[in-house]
Amino acid sequence: MPGKTTDGAAGGICRRCKENVSVLVVRLEPLCQECFARYVHTKAIKRLETFRVDFHTNEERKVLLPLSFGVSSTTLLHILDLHLKTQMSKTGRTGFALSMVAIRNAEQSPHTEDLLEEVRNQYPGHEYASLPLHDVFRVIPDDAALRDLIPEYTKGEPPKDQEQLARLINSLTSATARADVLSTLRARLIVEHAKSTGCQSILWGDSTTTLAEKTLAETCKGRGFSLPWQVADGKSPFGVYFHYPLRDVLKKELVSYIGFAESGLSSLVHEPFSGATQASTSSKNTTIDDLMKQYFESVEENFPSIVSNVVRTSSKLEVPAGAESDPRCGLCDMPVPGGRFGIHGWGGYQQDGIETAAVVGKNVCYGCTRSLPPSATTTTRI
Amino acid sequence: MPPSICAVCKTNRALILRPKDHSKLCKPCFINVFEAEIHHTIISTNLFQRGERIAIGASGGKDSTVLASVLKTLNERYDYGLDLILLSIDEGIKGYRDDSLETVKRNAQQYDMSLTILGYAELYGWTMDQVVEQVGKKGNCTYCGVFRRQALDRGASRLGVKHVVTGHNADDVAETVLMNLLRGDLPRLSRTTSIVTSTPSLTPSSGPVADNTNIKRSKPLKYAYEKEIVLYAYHKRLDYFSTECIYSPEAFRGSARALIKNLERVRPSAILDVVRSGEDMARLVPGSDEGCGGACGSGAAVPAEEEEGGCGSAVGKSMASVESQLAANERAAEHNLETEILSKPAKPTPPPSATSTKGQKKPRAERTGGPKKKGPTKQVMGQCKKCGYLSSQEVCKACVLLEGLNKNRPKNKIEVGYEVQDVSLNSVRDELEAATLAAEG
C-alpha cells in the first residue's frame, strides 16, 4: 500500500515545486519524489525544535533511539542521520548525539545482532547497543515490585534473569497478556538503558498510525489513566523526556518514503509484514494490539485525518495534578492516580465468583492486573 | 468430562458461560449475580432517593425491558421505596414502533406500572415517517435523535417526574468512548461515562416555559454487558421486541461497534475495561472539573445536552464526512503551524513549569505541560427562545430542525452516508447460543 499512486497523480505536476512530475498523492496534494521526501523530513524535524544546535553550551545532549528494525524506527534513524549531517555541514557541530538500542528476545538473539551490524555499517558514527529483554531484571533494583510478580520467586536465591523472564511470561494466560507484558518490559528496559547511558530523551519511532493504535489499544486494555504519558511529547514519569518525531507522519507515508529512498534503507527494514496481522479475529492468538493495528491500517487508507485526529485528541489529555507523588504500578511503573490498584473497588466491580479468600492486592494498575494471572496480583493472607 | 459445577453455589450444574468473565454459573446464580451487580451500581452511586418517582424510558427493546424488570425486582427486594413508571416515545415509524409499543403495553401490565406514550406527532407535529418523506432516508437520524432527547424530558416533566432512567448498557458506553476518541470529541468523552447526566438547574426561568430543563438522566445498566442483558431476558422469559430501526443505521457508531465486538471476542473483560478507561480519561480532559466519571458517586451530574444520543444526533455523521471536515481543518492548521514554528527559539526541552507564560505562542506543538490550557469551550446553557428547552444556542436544535422542515426545505445540510458494516442483533444471538453451555453428559 505504498501511498496513493493513483493514475491521476502519476504524470501530473507536483503541487509544491510546480516543476517535476508527481509520483503520489499525499493528503490530496500530488507531489514529486523530492518534495515528498522533504515533506516527511520537515514533519519529523519540526518536532525536534529542542534539539537544534545550541551555541551557548558545549554540553553534548544525547538522545536514545530504540530500534525495532520496523518501518518507523528505521526511517527515523535515516532522517536523523541526514539531519545531523546537515547540521554538521552548516554549523560545524550537531545539536545532539544519537545512540541506538535494539532489544532482543531470547529466540531471535543472533538475528538481532546481524541486523544491528547492518544498520551500523550503513549509519556509522553513532553509538549502538543491543540488549536481551531479560536484562530488565538486571537493571531494576533488587527490591523492585516487579520481582513480586514472578511466580515462585523467593528472596533467598534469585533465579537467573532469563529464568525470571521465562517464568513471568509462562504464567500469562493469553496472547494479549503476553504481548502486553513483553512490550511493557521492553519499554522499561529502554528507559533504564537511557538513564544509565546518560540520554536525557528517548525518540520513539511511532508514526501517527501506531500512536493511534496505541491510544485505542491502551484504552481497551484499561489503561486510559496512563494515556498522557503514552502518546504525548514531554517529560515522562521516568526521569527522561519522550519525543515522537514521526507523530505527524502516517505509516503508509513512511512505507512510501522507504519505497522511494535508496535501496540501502529498505534492505534494513525487517518488519513482520502486515499479513501477519490480517489473521482471523477468532484466532486465539490475536491480541488487542493486533486488532487495533488491523483497524487503523484500514482506516488510514481512506480516512487519514481520523487517524491523526485520534492522536491529536489523546495528546490533549492532561497529566493529573500530583501525579509525581502518586504510587507506581509494579509492572508498568506508571503513576496510578490515588493508588487505585487492581480491578476491584470501583463502580464496575464484578463478583468474579472465583475466590472469596481474604486477599491483599499487590500494587499493580488496572490494565496490568488484567494481563497478569489472578495469583500474581494477590497473595492469600494466611 | 464431569459436568461443570457452578462457580458460585458449587452445587448446581453450570449452564451459563458468563460473557463478562467466562465464569461458569448455574441459572439462578447468574440471575443473582446480574441483579447484585446492578444493585451495587445503584447503591455505590447513590443513584436513587427514597420516595423518588422514576420514569423508565421504555422502547420495548431488550435493554429497557430488562431495566424495568430488574428495577422492579430490586425495588421490592431492597425496599428502595421508588415509584416506577414507564415512559415511551412514539417516533411514528410504521412497522417498527407500532410493534414495540405493543410490547411496552404488555410490559406495563406485567410489571404493574403506569405507562405514558408520547408521540412525535403530538410534540412536534411531524412523525418520523413524515420526516423521512421530506428529507429522505439519509440523515434523518439527526432529526430522530434530537427530537427524542427532548421528548423524554418533555414527557417526564408532563408527568412531574424529575429522573429518567435509560437502558444504555456497557457496550453502548464503551462504543461511545471509542467513538469519541475517533471523532476527537473531548467534551463528550468527559461526559459519556458518567452514570448520571442532568440538565443543570437554571435560575428560575422567566415566562411560562415548561419545566423540562431540570430532569436527571441516568443509566443503571452502564456496567451490564449487552450479552448478559440478552441472557437475563432469555432466562427470565421477559417479553421484549427485537428489531432494529428500519431507517439508516449510524455509520460511525457502526465502526466502533464492530470494533467492540471483536475486542470482546479477544478479551471478554475488554468492554468493562474500556468503560473504566473512559472514566479515568474523563478526569484528564482539560478543564473538566466534573469529570469524575461516575466513580465519585452521586454528586456528579454533568450537562446532558445531546450526549450519548443512542442513535441519531450529530453522532450520526458518516466517517467520510468527518474525514473531509478534519482534513480541511488540518490543512488550515498546517499553514499556521509552519509559520509559527519558524519563530521558535532553540531550547532544550524545558521542564513543565518553565514554559509558563513566556512563550508567547500557544503551546500547541509541544506537550511539555506549560500553563494550564483552557479546556475545550464549555457549553454555556441557556434556554431556547422558542420552546424554552435547555440549549447552548439561542434556538435549540429541535426548533432549528423543525423550522427547516416546516419551510419544506431542511436547513441542515444532509450528508451522504458512508455505509459501514453494521453488527446486528443476530450476531449477538448467535454468540448467545455459543455462550450457553450445552448440557454435558
Residues 271-330 of A with CB under 8 A from B: 281-282, 286-288, 291, 295, 299, 302-306, 308-310, 312-320
Nearest-angstrom CA–CA distance, A312 and A316: 7
Closest CA of chain A from B322, distance in Å: 8
Nearest-angstrom CA–CA distance, B401 and B412: 7
pLDDT-based confidence at B412, cuts 50/70/90? low
Residue numbers in A near B269 (CB within 8 A): 222, 343, 370
Residue numbers in B near A317 (CB within 8 A): 186, 281, 284-286
Are the C-beta atoms of residues A55 and A45 closer than 8 Å to each other?
Answer: no
Average pLDDT, chain B: 76
Residues 237-276 of B with CB under 8 A from A: 259, 262-263, 265-267, 269-270, 272-276
Nearest-angstrom CA–CA distance, B244 and B214: 31
Nearest-angstrom CA–CA distance, B315 and B324: 15
pLDDT of residue B308: 40
Residue numbers in B near A229 (CB within 8 A): none
Is A156 within the bounds of a domain? yes
Tell me whether residues B278 and A219 touch, CB distance under 8 A.
Answer: yes
C-alpha cell of residue A100: 541506538
Is A141 within the bounds of a domain? yes
Tell me whether residues A218 and B41 touch, CB distance under 8 A.
Answer: no
Residues 118-177 of B with CB under 8 A from A: 170, 177
Segments forming the whole domain that contains residue A317: 47-323
- Tally the C-alpha atoms within 13 A of residue B104's C-alpha that lie toward its C-beta: 26
Residue B216, beta-bridge partner list: B163, B198
pLDDT for B428 beyond 50: no
Residue numbers in A near B186 (CB within 8 A): 313, 316-317
Residue A195, H or E segment: helix A175-196
Please provide the CATH number assigned to the domain covering B31-319+418-435: 3.40.50.620
Residue in chain A closest to B283 (alpha carbons) equals A320
Tell me whether residues B365 and A47 touch, CB distance under 8 A.
Answer: yes
Question: Would you give per-residue pLDDT tens digits along chain A (382 residues)?
Answer: 444 444 445 568 999 999 999 999 988 889 999 999 999 999 999 998 888 887 777 777 899 999 999 999 999 999 999 999 999 999 888 999 999 999 987 665 568 888 999 999 999 999 999 999 999 999 988 777 888 888 876 666 667 888 889 999 999 999 999 999 999 999 999 999 999 999 999 999 999 999 999 999 999 999 999 999 999 999 999 999 999 999 999 999 999 999 998 778 888 988 765 544 455 555 678 999 999 999 999 899 889 999 999 999 999 999 888 888 899 999 999 999 888 888 887 777 755 434 333 344 678 999 999 999 877 666 544 3
CATH number, domain containing residue A90: 3.40.50.620
Q: How far from each other are the two terminal CA atoms of chain B, in whole angstroms?
A: 8
Residue numbers in A near B20 (CB within 8 A): 350
Query: Cα-flanking dihedrals φ and ψ of residue B349, to 5°?
Result: -50, 115
Are the C-beta atoms of residues A167 and A139 closer than 8 Å to each other?
Answer: no
Are the C-beta atoms of residues B277 and A219 closer than 8 Å to each other?
Answer: yes
pLDDT for B207 beyond 90: no
Nearest-angstrom CA–CA distance, A182 and A188: 10
Q: Tell me what ipTM this predicted complex has.
A: 0.90
3-state secondary structure of B374: coil
Tell me whether residues A288 and B263 touch, CB distance under 8 A.
Answer: yes
Question: Does any CB of chain A come closer than 8 Å to the CB of residue B17?
Answer: no
Please report the sign of the dihedral spanned by the C-alpha atoms of residue A234, residue A238, residue A239, residue A244: negative
Tell me whether residues A216 and B272 touch, CB distance under 8 A.
Answer: no
Is A375 within the bounds of a domain? no
Residue numbers in A near B37 (CB within 8 A): 350-351
Residue B278 identity = G
Is A14 within the bounds of a domain? no
Counting every residue, how long is chain B? Answer: 441
Distances (CA, A) of A345 to A322, A342, A349: 21, 8, 6
Nearest-angstrom CA–CA distance, B96 and B249: 14
Average pLDDT of span B420-438? 48
Residue numbers in A near B23 (CB within 8 A): 352-354
Q: Mutation test of the interface with chain B: which of A306, A308, A354, A377, choosing the one with the most B Cβ atoms within 10 A? A: A306
Average pLDDT of span B101-123? 92
Residue-wise DSSP of B281-342: HHTTSTT-SS--TTTT-TT--B--TT-S-SS-SGGG--HHHHHHHHHHHHHHHHHHHHHHHH
Residue in chain B closest to A312 (alpha carbons) equals B184
Residue numbers in A near B344 (CB within 8 A): 49
DSSP B36: H
pLDDT of residue B337: 52
Tell me whether residues A235 and B352 touch, CB distance under 8 A.
Answer: yes
Tell me whether residues B182 and A46 touch, CB distance under 8 A.
Answer: no
What is the C-alpha radius of gyration for chain B, rounded to an integer number of angstroms? 23
3-state secondary structure of B165: strand
Tell me whether residues A308 and B21 touch, CB distance under 8 A.
Answer: no
User: What angle in degrees, to the nearest 10, is found between the helix axes of B251-266 and A288-302?
Assistant: 160
Q: Mutation test of the interface with chain A: which of B218, B266, B338, choosing the one with the most A Cβ atoms within 10 A? A: B266
Residues 191-210 of A with CB under 8 A from B: 200-201
Residue numbers in B near A349 (CB within 8 A): 40
Question: Does any CB of chain A come closer than 8 Å to the CB of residue B11?
Answer: no
Is A3 within the bounds of a domain? no
Which residues fall within 8 angstroms of residue A136, CB to CB, at 6 or more apart? A146, A161, A165, A185, A186, A188, A189, A192
**Total count of domains within chain A:** 1
Closest CA of chain A from B25, distance in Å: 9
pLDDT of residue B438: 43
What is chain A's percent helix, strand, coil content, to nearest 5? 45, 10, 40
Question: Does any CB of chain A come closer than 8 Å to the CB of residue B434?
Answer: no
Residue B217, H or E segment: strand B216-218
pLDDT of residue B340: 42
C-alpha cell of residue B136: 429522505
Nearest-angstrom CA–CA distance, B134 and B408: 7
C-alpha cell of residue B95: 412497522
C-alpha cell of residue A125: 558514527
Residue B344, beta-bridge partner list: none
Burial B348-374 (b: 16+ CB within 10 A, else e): bbbeeeebeeebeeeeebbbbbbeeee
Tell me whether residues A370 and B269 touch, CB distance under 8 A.
Answer: yes
Is A240 within the bounds of a domain? yes
Query: Cα-flanking dihedrals φ and ψ of residue B6, to 5°?
Result: -55, 130
Residue numbers in A near B181 (CB within 8 A): 215-216, 219, 310, 313-314
Question: Does any CB of chain B come closer than 8 Å to the CB of residue A373?
Answer: no
Residues 89-148 of A with CB under 8 A from B: 95
Residue in chain B closest to A96 (alpha carbons) equals B348
Are the C-beta atoms of residues B363 and B373 closer than 8 Å to each other?
Answer: yes
Residue numbers in B near A322 (CB within 8 A): none
Tell me whether residues A346 and B295 touch, CB distance under 8 A.
Answer: yes
Is A278 within the bounds of a domain? yes
Query: Cα-flanking dihedrals φ and ψ of residue B165, to 5°?
Result: -105, 140
- Tally the C-alpha atoms within 13 A of residue A29's C-alpha that lie toward its C-beta: 17
Residues 319-378 of B with CB under 8 A from A: 319-320, 322-324, 326-327, 329-331, 337, 341, 344, 346-349, 351-352, 365-369, 372-373
3-state secondary structure of A345: coil
Question: Does any CB of chain B come closer than 8 Å to the CB of residue A220?
Answer: yes
Nearest-angstrom CA–CA distance, A26 and A32: 10
Distances (CA, A) of B337 to A43, A232, B331, B361, B363: 11, 18, 10, 11, 11
Distances (CA, A) of B134 to B44, B157, B318, B415: 47, 30, 20, 15
Better-predicted residue by pLDDT, B296 or A187 = A187
Are the C-beta atoms of residues A233 and A242 closer than 8 Å to each other?
Answer: yes
Distances (CA, A) of A191 to A112, A286, A365: 19, 28, 19
pLDDT of residue A149: 86
For B335-372, the pLDDT digits (tens) are: 665 444 444 444 444 444 444 444 444 444 444 444 44
Question: Does any CB of chain A come closer than 8 Å to the CB of residue B284?
Answer: yes
Residue A201, H or E segment: strand A201-203
Of A61, A220, A352, the CB nearest to B270: A220
Nearest to B303 by CA among B230, B235, B378: B378
Of A205-209, B43-47, B71-75, B383-387, the one with minimum mean pLDDT is B383-387
Percent of chain B with pLDDT over 70: 68
Chain pair A-B, CB pairs under 8 angstroms: 213
Residue numbers in A near B275 (CB within 8 A): 348
Better-predicted residue by pLDDT, A128 or B153 = A128
Of B274, B284, B348, the CB nearest to A320: B284
Better-predicted residue by pLDDT, B149 or B75 = B75
For B236-287, the pLDDT digits (tens) are: 999 998 766 666 555 667 788 889 999 999 999 999 999 999 999 999 998 7
Residue in chain B closest to A354 (alpha carbons) equals B7
Residue numbers in A near B373 (CB within 8 A): 318
Closest CA of chain A from B439, distance in Å: 21
Are the C-beta atoms of residues A187 and A103 closer than 8 Å to each other?
Answer: no
How many C-beta atoms surround the C-beta of residue B382 within 10 A?
15
Which residues fall within 8 angstroms of residue A359, CB to CB, at 6 or more apart? A378, A379, A380, A381
Residue numbers in B near A288 (CB within 8 A): 263, 266-267, 270
Of B36, B177, B184, the CB nearest to A312: B184
pLDDT of residue A156: 63
pLDDT for B332 beyond 50: yes
Is A90 within the bounds of a domain? yes
pLDDT of residue B123: 85
